[in-house]
Chain A
């Protein structure tokens, strides 16, 4: 499997946020400021990559042998929750300022549909362990990229003279729509 293509596909062509429309919660909620967006995107990227691997392991080592594939959603959610909580504990000790900045948004990574979505997509596409890891990492990088770009744009928008009707969320959604349009251009990289 071409790893470069897998990464580009995960990050840009099938971007989690703008093409697959997953993980829109933090995309809209945390992107007011660059520093919090950057911090959250790194945390989510870390959780995404780790979860992809853990989910694959759970699927292959526990669910399939025990014929318990019907428990996949539950098991994945449990894995995600544990990963997020571990990340929060470690971050609280090692990067306390980042922990303060992110505050409530760290536990919300558990309910980020992008994390569960990537884990399930890996299963759907029958990726191997390495492919799962790469796909998770690529998707995470794509998520981080888009979140940081969007927050930079929102910071600039906050200083522009937006008509009152459109200030705040409306113009942010319009901007996200334009970004999604732009990202559609990446689909021309591969001849499907």
Chain B
């Protein structure tokens, strides 16, 4: 066991929330394995390849075999040995009006795959092998972002930050992973540092996770140099786990919102993602994930290791089900979660938490300019100004006061005494801005093509004119000859 350097970060977020974190609720039980009898996998809209004929009804797919590859190169493996029940369209998790394509599977072998379906890699693979393996194993950001990991590694990097903050209340998937799979996390760190030639790694934890810290300390591998790899403990605040906020708390660096951290050589990964990467290096693609099922409306909250595609209501019943009454089930936590309208849908790679709370109808009342929202904003924006601008259709003014910097963390919603849905307004505003930007790009492209076409037609008509002029010169003499010949004839 090697000595691990632990640093206490002196920095705090200006703003942010500090509330009871509710994490004890789901940590009261040990992690449970869930093996469902059916799986429902949502298919992305655009796939890189045409689904193979093994998707015919009744065909059996082995656990670990590739199901599909997305346009970004992520290959999703079949979580269990199962037979295809149906391939159709159905409602999405969020209940959006666009139906999505679904693959319904009946599980034959409920246990997780015992054999690696990819070739186990030797120690310290190089960068290209690592990227290919992450793509083949379907490694995406498992903290909830879902961004393909291998795309982050295309940049020149020097620092890896492991985001063990898990700042949102009630979520405990990351903490469970750090407690139970600390050696795997360190394995992935070792592999990444050698493959991407990183200079240092900082594993960041909040101070409310002492058991996880102890587990990580205990598993710290001796191959790592304590000078380059350390653990930093930050004060527990929401949202300390947001990428730019985390980098500032851990390293003291401010990254502008117009650039991504990878462009500055810093890559941030969730510990669950790293544990999955370690499995991938041993030949196991991403098939299962830990989901926290928690909230005031859940009878026995807990954390569950479950295959991707597990129907959500099955997971809820594993946690004792919902209490009597009207409840909302959120995909995510109490601040960043969105309501699930179709609970028969399957768990995705981005489903880190299912949070259920009683439905509380809160009618919003007018903004009283109390300023509480500005106090908690982690980016130090003025949510009341943004809200006023957006509700009066002044998107330009909203952008001027910093709409594009909003993290959509939801802290302002929590403290607003008038129950205004601030975050939703900002999300809609950001969405409108993006649509406006893409519209403008289309319009610019159309204008360029239109002008280019006009130029081309002009050039062609000029070329035609020149040719006609040359022909006229020649044919002028030919016409004379014809005239002369005719004159001779009639003569």
Contact = CB atoms under 8 A, between A and B. Distances in A.
Interface string A113-131: 0000000000000000000
A159 B366 contact: no
Interface in A136-184: 155, 158-161
B366 A161 contact: yes
A41 to B, nearest CB: 21
Contacts of A159: 385, 388-389, 391-392, 394, 397
B67 to A, nearest CB: 50
Contacts of B394: 158-159
The secondary structure that dominates the A interface is loop
Chain B interface mostly helix, strand, loop or mixed?
Answer: helix
Chain B's interface size range is: under 10
Task: Give the size category of A's interface with B.
Answer: under 10
Contacts of A160: 388
A82 to B, nearest CB: 38
Contacts of A155: 397
Nearest to A158: B392
B488 to A, nearest CB: 70
Interface string B376-420: 000000000100110110100100000000000000000000000
Nearest to A161: B366
A164 to B, nearest CB: 14
Nearest to A159: B388
B389 to A, nearest CB: 6
B156 to A, nearest CB: 41
A100 B245 CA distance: 43
A161 B394 CA distance: 14
Contacts of A158: 392, 394
Given A159-B388, A159-B389, A159-B394, 9 more contacts: A155-B397, A158-B392, A158-B394, A159-B385, A159-B391, A159-B392, A159-B397, A160-B388, A161-B366
Interface of B: 366, 385, 388-389, 391-392, 394, 397
12 contacts: A155-B397, A158-B392, A158-B394, A159-B385, A159-B388, A159-B389, A159-B391, A159-B392, A159-B394, A159-B397, A160-B388, A161-B366
